[in-house]
Each structure stands twice: as C-alpha cells, then as structure tokens.
Chain A
Amino acid sequence: MERSQTVTQKFSSFSSSSSSTSGRDDKPREIDRSRSLGPVKLEKSYGKKERDTETVTIEEDEEEGQEEEEVEVVVVVNKEEEASSAPEEPPEASFGSISEEVDGFLSFLLSIDDGRDQWPEPPAMPEPTIKKFLDFVEEELVKYESGKDGAPPPANDELVLFDAIDRVAKLTSALSIFSSDTKYNKAMTRASSILRYAMCFLEDEFHSLLEDSKPKKDTGTARPKTKRRPSIGHLHDAIDRCVPPPSEPDLAEFPSTYTPEIIERLSGIAGAVVSAGYATECCQVFTISRRNAFDVALSNLGYEKLGVDDVQKMPWDSLETKIATWNKVFRQTVEVAFPREHDLCEAVFAGHSAIAYSIFHNFARGVTVLLLGFAEAVATTKRSAEKLFKVLDMYETLRDMVPRIDALLRTTESEPDDSSAAHDLTTEVALVRSRLGEAVVAIFCDLETSIKTDMGKNAVPGGAVHPLTRYVMNYLKYACEYKNTMEQVFRDHKNSENPSSQVEDAAKGGSDDNHNPFAIQLMEAMELLHTNLESKSKLYRDPALCSIFLMNNGRYVMQKIKGATEIHQLLGDTWSRKRSSDLRQYHKNYQRETWSKVLACFKDDGLQARGHVAKPVLKERLKSFNSMFEEIHKAQSSWVVSDEQLQSELRVSVSAVIVPAYRSFLGRFSQYLDPGKKSGKYIKFGPEELENYIDELFSGNPSSMVSRKRT
C-alpha cells in the first residue's frame, strides 16, 4: 500500500509540474536524472567498457524524445520496489529485474545503431529475458483488461502497465535494427504484436473513459461537487458557479470535463500511447469525442444550426430571438467552454504541449467557424432599420471575444509553425466582424434614404410633432447608446464610396467632427431631417402654423438631444447653438405673422387728427381687434404644442406683447367712447380676460369663446 502511494505521488507531482510549466523547465532536471541512472544500469549488464558510448547515446535519445524519457525515468525508479512486492511474482525473476535487463539491452542496441556496419553479426540477444518480459506484459494486459469491467484498477497498476508498454515500444523499434536476423525478427514480431494489442486496448479504454465518465447531468439533487479536488478545481468552478435562470442557456450543458481521477487516467493512457508512436489515433479519438460532446451540448442549449437560406427566410421576430441566443452561446463558448477545453487538453496531454495545442486549436477553430456561420448568414440578410441594434450586438460579441480567443491560443507555448494558427482564426473572426460592420453602416445609412423618401402629402393637424421626427430621433437616440461601437464601426468599415460632397455638407456642423465619420453621418441625418421638416412645413397654408410646426419639431429634437448626452457630444455645442437660434427665429416669425397685425390696431397713427380722436376710427380699430383676436383664439387654441415649457413660453411671450399694449391702448382711448352699454360693445375683453384667453392657445382643444360668452 505504502509503496503504491509513493508511485502515485511521484507520478502526479511530476505530471502536475510539467503541466503547469508546459514541460520545458523540467527538461534539464529530467535529463540529469536519467543520465545518472543510465550508467548504473549499464554497469550491471554490460560492464564498464561501453559506459562512455552509452552516456552519449542517452543524451542523443533525450533530444529526440524527451517526453518518452520523462515518463520512463520516474517510473523505472519505482518499478523495482513495486514489482518485487507483488505476491504473484515468482521470486527468482522479478518483473523489475527483467525490466532492468531489457533496459540494459535496449540501451546497448541503441548505442550501436549508428555504427551498425561494424556489426556484421547481430549482437547476442538475451532471448529468455525478452520472452519473459513479453510474456509478463501480455499476461498483465489480459489481466488488466478482464478486470476492467469492474472497478477501475488501482492507479499504480496502470502506471506499471503503461511503463511496460513503453518499454515494449522501445524494444520493438530497437529490435528492428537487426530484423534481418531471424531471432531478432521473431522477437520483434512478437513485441510489435503485443504493442499493437496494447494500443488497441488503450484506444478503447481512452475512448470509453472520454465517452462514459462524463459527470452525469445534474438532476437537481446530487452534485458530485465534493469529489472534486481543489487543485484542479478551476476546471470545474465554472460548472459549479452556474445556477442558470430558466430562460438563459444552461452553462452546464457545455461539455464538462472529468473528475481529476479520470483526467489522470486519460493522461496516463495518452502518455503511453503518444510515446509508443500512436499519437495520431489517440488525438483523433480525443478530438472527435470532445467535438461531438460540444455539438450535443449546443443542441441541448437549443442552438439550432441554420443555413444561410433559412436565415434569409426567417421572419424578423424569430430571427431576433435566434440572434439573442447566438450572442449568449458565442460568449459562453469562448468564456466557458474554451478555457475548459483548453485546460483539459493541457491536462490530458501533459508534457506534450504541441499536441495539446494543436488539439485545442483545432477544437477552437472548428467551433468558431461553426458559430460564425450564423453571424455570416445574418450579415447577408436584407438590410432594414430594425436590424441595426441586433447586428450591433453581434458585432460587439465578436469584437469582445477575439482577444479572449487570441489569449487562449497564445498562452500555450507553441511550435513556430503554429504561431500563424491563432492569427488565422482571429482573422476569420475579423472578416465576419467586418461584414457585420458593413451591414451596420449600410443599415444606418439607409436611415438617410428613409428620411429622404418620407414625402407624405398630409400635414400633421395642429402643427404637432411629426411621426418621422419621433421615429428618427428615437432611432438615433438608441443608436447613440452604442456610440463607441458605432464610431468604431464607421471608422473601420465606412468604405470609400462616400462621395466627398456629403462630407462637406456635414462638416458645416463643426470642423472638429471631420475625423469622426459616425458624427458626420449623424449630422447628415439631422440635416436631412431638418430639410425634410422644412419642406413638410410648407404643407401648412398659414405661415404662423408653419412656424409652430417647425418650433414643435425643433423643440422635440432639442429635448431628445438634451436627454441623451451621447448625441449631444456627437453633434457638439455649435450645432445646438445654431438650432436654438433657429428655434428663436421660428418664434419671432410666429409672433410677426400672428401678432403684428393685431398690434397694428393699437397704433396712434390715424386715430388722432389735429388733436382730436376720430371716434369712428377708434370704434373700427376695436372692432377689428376683437374679431382678429377671436379668430386667432379660435384657430390657435386648436394648435398643438405638447411641450409644456414651450407652450408656456409662447403664451407668456404673446401676453407680454399684447396685454400691455392693449392695456395702454384702453388707458389712452377708452375715455373717448360713450360710457355705458355702448362701451361694452366695443371693448369686449378686459386685459385680464385677454390673458386668460391667451392661456388657452396651443392646447389642442378647439374652443370658441363666443359660445362660452353666451353661457
């Protein structure tokens, strides 16, 4: 018991150190260890004569296959103790000593490989030892395999077996040096058969470990949390943390990794198989199993694989849901599944960083390409305004995930050949991202087309805010919530087809914005809206109403911009000042159009001739004021100014002009009217009454003061 623990400990300490430092740092130490071992073994079997050559050979061997050597060295040390303790072993020839002899012979064969020509006759082969060794391995394999259906074998048994298999692999290859010799050939054939047998068996074992030992899906009661060791806990953290709300894709659906025990066994098998030269089979099994698991998880997540054609035909509201799912799935794939898979590769192929890297890269690439297909399909759909925000979401997902993918692919120390691999994958993502970016630009620029082509012939009643203004402003406000992304998209993807005239037009708003294509585009849209509204205002026959319409819409625009700092920043203060002065101008125009005629009634000119007040003229003036005011009241109380502030500003400004003028007019001339009932005929409104009536303007309620007066 105690011994088996030593083996496990040593093994695991070795594997954990190599996985964390990607194996390279350990190399010198490993070589030292094996070098010190080599001569000892040799002295036993072949004497001091060959010692020098031997040491050199081992060094060379080290350079070719460090990984193989690493595993061997550690276990060889333990083998002797281990095997000698096994009760069923005949005491006269322990497996440990046989292995040692085989090792000695192996080293000897390798040492003479280069100078084979000097050996016309193959060197004597320790046939009985080799036979015993192979017999033993075969027996162990059968034993191991037949016991496999029950509980997993103790870890140390497996290590002994893997070590033996490794020795068989080396023996097979070393024996083939002299395979023209019958004896050698026979031994080699036997060794290679056993090796292949072992490899088939390990492949099956590896496969069923991968397929069958996944933690069972959580049924809500028992979580195998407790069994997990804290040391490898980071692999599982993501699973444990996840308690997804029902509507969210379930993270636990992503292929989870395995318990540390299983990972250790997988890693052991992978090590043995790789060092025996059967890496391709092993990688293939691993790659396909993990990818299948991922695809099953995807479909459990409700992620549907949709063709480009399907996406084109899909109604927007369904597609919108799919896009939302895609965003989540893509982010979680990169944030959860990729790191998990990365760690698994590193753990299973510990010490074989190139293999681990290529398997992970292959996985990441396959999955990314699969998921990008949908984004590509969406970018291909017919462009329309409502898609802007969803497409932006996808764009942001890709933008945010690229650095993470990149980081994962770069953390592993890779072969020089692989350095471009990460680059290729991120380029592929960038390509799709730029397609989405182009779609965003096109959709946003389409807004201009829809503004330009909105040419309704019906004026909005009462000069109220036009639906186009509301639509455009809300759209822009929403778009500007993506301000940073929009700016980035426009900088990166606004292509050269933009004619320079547009830029010049837009640049009127402020020269600082020249280098911000999105701001220019936004300005352009605002200008177009402005132009469109001006032409819409011409639909009103009454120039005063025309001003009210412009004022209403202008006010709405200003209020929206005030409420959204992003748009405000983009358009700039100059623009706002310009717009405010426009608004003031509309106000003036309104005052002039509506009230200058009214004020004309209060003029002194023409009333007094040679110091006398002309009564008929006075009466005429008052009559015409009364009817004018009644008419204005009747018309303008049905006009709509829904912005309360603007409404009160307008009323106040009208009162401020009219009421004092009226008051002073009455003060100057009412004395000339006959007192009594007749004056009431001409002076219909008291100044306070006038103010009240003015306060009824722009309320959108047509009210006749005549009818009210009667009641």
Chain B
Amino acid sequence: MPTMDYQGSSLPFASIGRSILSIRRDQVHTVHAGRHHDPAALDLDLEALQKRVADLFLDLSSSDDDLLSLAWVRKLLDGFLVCQEEFRGILFGCSQGRRVNLSRPPLDRLLSDYFDRAVKALDVCNAVRDGIDQLRRWRRHLEIALAALSGGGRTLGEGQLRRARKALTELAILMIDEKEAGGGSVLTLRNRSFGRAGKEPPHHRRAGSGGAAVSSSGHHRSLSWSVSRSWSAARQLQAIGNNLTPPRGNEVTATNGLAVPVFTMSSVLFFVMWALVAAIPCQDRGLQTHFWVPRNFSWAASITSLHDRIFEESKRKERKSSCGMLKEIHHMEKCIRHLTELLDPVDFPWTEGKETELRQGVEELAEVCNTMKDGLEQLERQVREVFLRTVRSRTEGLDCLSKSHHPE
C-alpha cells in the first residue's frame, strides 16, 4: 500500500489565524503612538523602512542560483510582510499622533491609490494560491512515479516502470497544457480540455505507454479555479503597476515625507506580485510591464537588477515554454524529461549501467518531491498571510483616512 497522503493540501489554518490575531493593533499603538508628535521620530521611521527594503532586496539579489526558488520566494514574502508591518506602524503613528493629516491632499490620493493596488494584489494572491494547488496536484504524479520506481528495494517489474513513465508523461502533458493556458488565450484552452477525456475507444489508447498517457492525462485535468475565466494575471499586474510614479519634490514636502514610503511600498507590492506571477502557474501570465525606480532610492539598484534578471530569464527559450519560473518547476521538468527518456519501454529489459542511472534519477526525483512537499505548504501559508495582512492593513488604513476626514 502506498502511503495515502491526501491531506497534502490542507493547511494548518489555525496557525495563520493565530499569527494574525496575535499581532494586535495595540502593539503597534504602544510602539508608535505619541512618537509622531516628534518630527525626528517620524523621519527615523521613514529611514528605517528605506533601509529595511534596501536590505531585503540586496539580500535577495545577492545569490544567483537561488533566484525564484521556493526558498527565495518565501524570503521575498517574509520580507514583504515585515516591510508592510513597518509601513502600517508609520501610518498608524501618524494618524494617532496627528502629526500628519493623512486626509490632506495629495497624501489622501497617494494612500488611496496604494490601497487600490493592494486590493488588486489580493486577486493575485488568490490566483497564486490556485497555482500552488495545481503544483501540489502535479506533485502527486511525481509521487506515483517515485512509489513505482522505489519498489521497496526489490527489482522493478516492467509494469512499475511503465507506471512511472505513464505518471510522468501525463504530468508533462498537463504542464504543457498549463503553459498554453497561462500564456495564451484563456478561454480556448479550458473549453478544449473539457471534451477531451476518454471518448475514443479504450483499446486505441494503450497502443503504447505514451498513447495511454496522452488520453488519460485528461483524467487529471482540473478545471477549478477560484478566479473567473476571463481573469488575467498580466492585466492585473498592469493594473497594479499603473501610474506608479515616484513622488515629486513638492509632494514629498507637502506630505511630510510620507509620499516616499507610500511609493516605496507600492513598488515593493508590485514587485512581489510580479515575482509571484513569474514563479507560479496562474491564468494568463505575462511579465511585460513597465517598472521603473529612480536611482536615488537606496533599494533601486537591487530591485531593478532582480526585475531585469527575471525578465531576461523569462525570455530564454527553455523558460519560455514553462508554465512557471519557479526553480523547482524547472527542476521538475528536467527530472521528468530525464526519467521519461530513461524509461523508454524500447530499452526493457535493462543493463546494469542503466539501473544506476535510474537510481540517480529517482534520487533526484525524490529530492524535488520533498522540496515541493514542505515548500509548497509553507508558501501557501505565506501567500495566505500576505492576503490577510494586506486586507487588514488596508482596512486600518482606510479607517485612519476616514477618521482624519471626520475629526471628532
């Protein structure tokens, strides 16, 4: 019996709830309330945020081979959450201390633009959550292959090898389909996949193991997405990045400097969402967006270089055909290709050398599988956390805005 791990997709929601709830507003209050009567304290906070963002992106851009790995994406999200928390503290401090009137133009407009972007980011979070679900479903195929090929230390029968190959080929087809879905027209693909499964007579299907996979990959094609079919990640990213311009000098002065963190957070938010869409399969991906940060921001160089590197990478041939640039997906693809070739039924039975090669392939597969298992769960939890905290900080922000509108 293979181990039945159908709980893979369930998350300890409880932990999210707790961590969110434990960040009580009053903690923020005690830190910041009162401090912003003092202009110097506000400046210090603004500087601290700039430094935090700069450190985050410097760290993220420091290693080359880590780019867009699960660990990298998680680091990005963690960093984002921290920055968002600091930003939230600054706003709250301002509204409590009445040092800066949040509802005075142009700050009110800047803030409400930022919160609009945040709402749009929520949809990206949901789409990415779907994408993670998708990856998790894909991982099941890897698990089948792994279970078939591990065989408890005993010699593998041809059936097991074919079983593994079938699972991998099906997965490869699912991934190609996803790519077509992600890159091309959304509607055509979904409709196509509807009618496809299992209409032809069954004995035609199993002419070769490849043939079987082609037809039965339809059995594994999920049609469920939480976003509507017309939703497009590319368009959403454009909407988030729309009018994202650095503040002008007079805006900075008119807002007591607050225009700077608002712009900073808007840029970080955009980049985080853009990177998520780059990494994770989701509907109608597209990375072609305008993104520019003036050099005088301490984080400009690193964030721009990351953006450029990812964008360049996305244009490379092998990545172009991929449904997501997550490093583990790439790894998975390589692994599948390698094993599928190895498992070509023409070569049965095998030579000694091939067995060794297969063993290595299986080890590699196991590694990808394991990384994905823990990594995806943690990533989903984080994406959820980003969603929840974004909602919360927006609600609070809008509260602050409306309270400053109606001083009691």
Interface size on A, residues (CB 8 A): 92
User: Are B14 and A192 in contact, with the CB atoms below 8 A?
Assistant: no
List 29 interface pairs A-B (beta carbons < 8 Å), by A numbering: A64-B1, A148-B202, A176-B151, A179-B154, A180-B155, A185-B155, A189-B157, A191-B159, A192-B157, A200-B212, A203-B219, A207-B218, A212-B198, A280-B144, A281-B167, A284-B137, A284-B141, A307-B227, A309-B119, A309-B122, A361-B10, A362-B9, A366-B224, A379-B391, A380-B122, A430-B17, A431-B16, A431-B388, A496-B24
Over the window 225-256 of chain B, the binary record of Cβ atoms lying under 8 Å from chain A Cβ atoms (1 yes, 0 no) is 11111010000100100000000000000000
A238-293, CB < 8 A from B: 274, 277-281, 283-285, 287-289, 291-292
User: Are A176 and B220 in contact, with the CB atoms below 8 A?
Assistant: no
User: Are B206 and A307 in contact, with the CB atoms below 8 A?
Assistant: no
User: Are B6 and A283 in contact, with the CB atoms below 8 A?
Assistant: yes
- B224's contact among A146, A172, A203, A295, by CB below 8 Å, is which? A295
Does any Cβ of A come within 8 Å of B353's Cβ? no
Residue of A nearest to B236 (CB): A309
- A277's contact among B1, B12, B198, B222, by CB below 8 Å, is which? B1
Residue of A nearest to B127 (CB): A307
CA distance A64 to B155 in the complex (A): 21
- B126's contact among A177, A373, A442, A497, by CB below 8 Å, is which? A373
Besides A193-B159, A281-B144, A289-B219, 17 new A-B residue pairs in contact (Cβ under 8 A), listed by A number: A188-B155, A189-B158, A191-B159, A197-B159, A199-B163, A200-B206, A284-B141, A284-B219, A288-B221, A306-B228, A362-B10, A370-B226, A373-B126, A421-B10, A424-B12, A452-B408, A496-B26
Chain A interface main SS type: helix
User: Are B216 and A200 in contact, with the CB atoms below 8 A?
Assistant: yes
Residue of B nearest to A305 (CB): B228
Known contacts: A417-B7, A424-B11. The answer to whether A308 contacts B155 by CB under 8 A is no
CA distance A197 to B223 in the complex (A): 28
Give A308 Cβ to nearest chain B Cβ, in Å. 4
User: Are A355 and B6 in contact, with the CB atoms below 8 A?
Assistant: yes
- A201's contact among B12, B25, B206, by CB below 8 Å, is which? B206
Residue of B nearest to A176 (CB): B154
Does any Cβ of B come within 8 Å of A376's Cβ? yes
CA distance A310 to B227 in the complex (A): 10
- Which residues on B sit within 8 Å (CB–CB) of A496? 24-26
Give B90 Cβ to nearest chain A Cβ, in Å. 19
Give A326 Cβ to nearest chain B Cβ, in Å. 14
Residue of B nearest to A286 (CB): B219
- Which residues on B sit within 8 Å (CB–CB) of A289? 219
CA distance A433 to B226 in the complex (A): 19
- Which residues on A sit within 8 Å (CB–CB) of B163? 196, 199, 278
Over the window 413-455 of chain A, the binary record of Cβ atoms lying under 8 Å from chain B Cβ atoms (1 yes, 0 no) is 0000110110111011011000100100010000001001100
Over the window 360-373 of chain A, the binary record of Cβ atoms lying under 8 Å from chain B Cβ atoms (1 yes, 0 no) is 01100110011001
Does any Cβ of A come within 8 Å of B35's Cβ? no
- Which residues on A sit within 8 Å (CB–CB) of B16? 431
CA distance A185 to B349 in the complex (A): 10
Does any Cβ of B come within 8 Å of A405's Cβ? no
User: Are A204 and B159 in contact, with the CB atoms below 8 A?
Assistant: no
User: Are A280 and B147 in contact, with the CB atoms below 8 A?
Assistant: yes
- Which residues on B sit within 8 Å (CB–CB) of A64? 1
B136-166, CB < 8 A from A: 137, 140-141, 143-144, 147, 151, 154-160, 162-163, 166
A203-219, CB < 8 A from B: 203-205, 207-208, 211-212
Does any Cβ of B come within 8 Å of A486's Cβ? no
User: Are B119 and A312 in contact, with the CB atoms below 8 A?
Assistant: yes
Give A584 Cβ to nearest chain B Cβ, in Å. 33
Q: Among B126, B133, B229, B398, which residue has the most Cβ atoms of chain A within 10 A?
A: B126
Known contacts: A149-B201, A305-B225, A431-B13. The answer to whether A279 contacts B2 by CB under 8 A is yes
